[in-house]
Amino acid sequence: MSVLDDLKMIHERDAQDALGIAEKQASYLKHEFGVELKLGKPIKNVVLAGMGGSALPGAFMTSWPGLSVPFEISRNYNLPSYVGPETLVISSSYSGNTEESLAALEEAKASGASIIVIAAGGQLMEKAKAGDYPFYEIPGGIQPRMSTFYFLKAFVDIFESLGLAAAGSAQELNQASGWLSSQLANWLPDVPTDKNPAKQIALELLGKSVVMYSGPKLFPAANKWKICFNENAKNIAWSNYFPELNHNEFLGWTSHPVDKPYAVVELRSSLEHPRTQKRFEVTERLLSGKRPSPEVVEVQGETLLQQLLWAANMGDFVSLYLALLNGLNPTPVDLIEKFKRELG
């Protein structure tokens, strides 16, 4: 029996039931925020000011459904110089106390931009109420990286309401929720390793630094895997995407010892550009023997949305199982909290 089939061990190490939260995430896509959004002036560009797990869901919007105006994610204290009265700034922070998001909010006010706030509470919630800004309240009690689908639903509601995303996007998200729930049943703890692809991948990654690759359309999901390996499994990981990596990182595999301490995971999609799909094949052939053979994940789903959700949620399960294999409780992020305290 695989160690990952020991339900007693899983229960003991996963003390905050992160696996149970991962199982519920599909339902977050149906969350109703109850906000009637009216800004009263035209929007010519959008900036999302957020960090870490509070910015990650915004990257999904660049892939699906896509926006009709320029959209940028600002992971910084400062906003882009073009921000002005025709900009929508979304200040996003799960805790509501992220100092970069708070600083960006003050810049947004000074620039005359329209402002929307997304948070589970904290100072951002207080500032939203004080400034009478539209406020999308994320349910609390979970880690930011596990709230991705709440944020995704908020973004879709916002952009569809403003006519910046395709009509029907929220309905498509709702429909995808039920489909995803049926798919993730294959990754649950009580499914034995020989039938559980998430457990199988985690076992292959044990003891390795993980390099995540995808095409541009699935890069938001690949980057979520990277973040979840970092925070859930406390495991170093990186991410990149085709075709960009063929112009630089590709050569990085060709020197040094062949037996490198890495594991390569590739999220492959039938919906990527045909030339991007060919790049996976040619790269694998030319780097054979120079890097570890990739763990190829053929992402499931008929639509891009389904594939993004499927890939993102599977990454949660893989990273959580890797945390358990590493002998760790996946939920706490003690060093990040210590860093914030020492930063003051």
Catalytic residues: 231, 247, 340
**Residue position matching structure tokens 């994610």:** 73
Distance, in Å, from the CA atom of 334 to the CA atom of 183, rounded to the nearest integer, reads 32
Distance, in Å, from the CA atom of 298 to the CA atom of 191, rounded to the nearest integer, reads 20
Sheet containing 295-298, strands listed edge to edge, beginning at the edge strand earlier in sequence? 237-241, 209-214, 262-268, 295-298
Taking the CA of residue 270 as centre, how many other CA atoms within 13 Å lie in the half-sphere pointing to its CB? 7
**8 Å CB contact between 63 and 217:** yes
Q: Where are the alpha helices (DSSP H) in the chain?
A: 7-13, 18-28, 56-63, 99-111, 122-131, 148-161, 169-183, 197-205, 219-231, 249-252, 274-286, 304-325, 334-343
Per the document, the length of the chain is: 344
Dihedral in degrees, nearest 10, Cα atoms 59, 60, 61, 62: 60
**Coil, strand or helix at 226:** helix
- Sequence-distant (≥ 6) Cβ neighbours of residue 24 within 8 angstroms: none
Distance, in Å, from the CA atom of 342 to the CA atom of 344, rounded to the nearest integer, reads 5
**Residue position matching structure tokens 């062949």:** 258
